[in-house]
């Protein structure tokens, strides 16, 4: 019965209510089948990009911010125009997120 309802919901229109129902059904199905949590959690999608992007995507966020902050301070001293350019772009990202 759970599998049938999952198939029906997966084939129906995607809406919040259907997704919420699916989430509960997936949890129940996995619990009844005794699927270990490690097998239920999908692996993060691989990140493609520059060497920096790939390394940053797997780094601890707090550690990454410390490293970037340290180097941004050095950039501010050595290449002030480049520093200001990066800071402008970062501020614009913050401005864009408020518009969504």
Give domain status of residue 45, yes or no.
Answer: no
The pair of structure tokens assigned to 72 is 């941004």
- The answer to whether residues 58 and 89 belong to one domain is yes
Handedness of CA 76, 79, 84, 90 (dihedral sign): negative
Give domain status of residue 12, yes or no.
Answer: yes
- The answer to whether residues 93 and 61 belong to one domain is yes
pTM equals: 0.47
Question: How many domains does the chain fold into?
Answer: 2
- The answer to whether residues 56 and 93 belong to one domain is yes
The predicted model gives 4-12 an average pLDDT of: 88
Give domain status of residue 79, yes or no.
Answer: yes
Q: What is the pLDDT of residues 22-68, one digit of tens each?
A: 888 888 888 788 767 666 666 666 678 888 988 888 888 899 999 99
- The answer to whether residues 90 and 63 belong to one domain is yes
Rounded Cα gap, residues 26 and 7, in angstroms = 11
Give the structural domain span for 73.
51-97
Residue with tokens 């992007």: 53
Would you list the DSSP string of 31-70?
A: HHTT--HHHHSPPPPPP-S-HHHHHHHHS-HHHHHHHHHH
């Amino acid at each position: 019965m759970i599998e049938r309802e999952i198939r029906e919901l997966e084939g129906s229109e995607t809406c919040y209510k259907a997704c919420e129902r699916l989430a509960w059904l997936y949890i129940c199905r996995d619990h009844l089948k005794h699927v270990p949590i490690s097998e239920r959690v999908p692996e993060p999608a691989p990140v493609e990009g520059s060497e920096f992007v790939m390394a940053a995507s797997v780094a601890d966020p707090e550690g990454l911010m410390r490293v970037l902050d340290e180097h941004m301070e050095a950039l501010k001293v050595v290449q002030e125009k480049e520093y200001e350019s990066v800071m402008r772009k970062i501020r614009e990202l913050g401005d864009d997120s408020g518009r969504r």
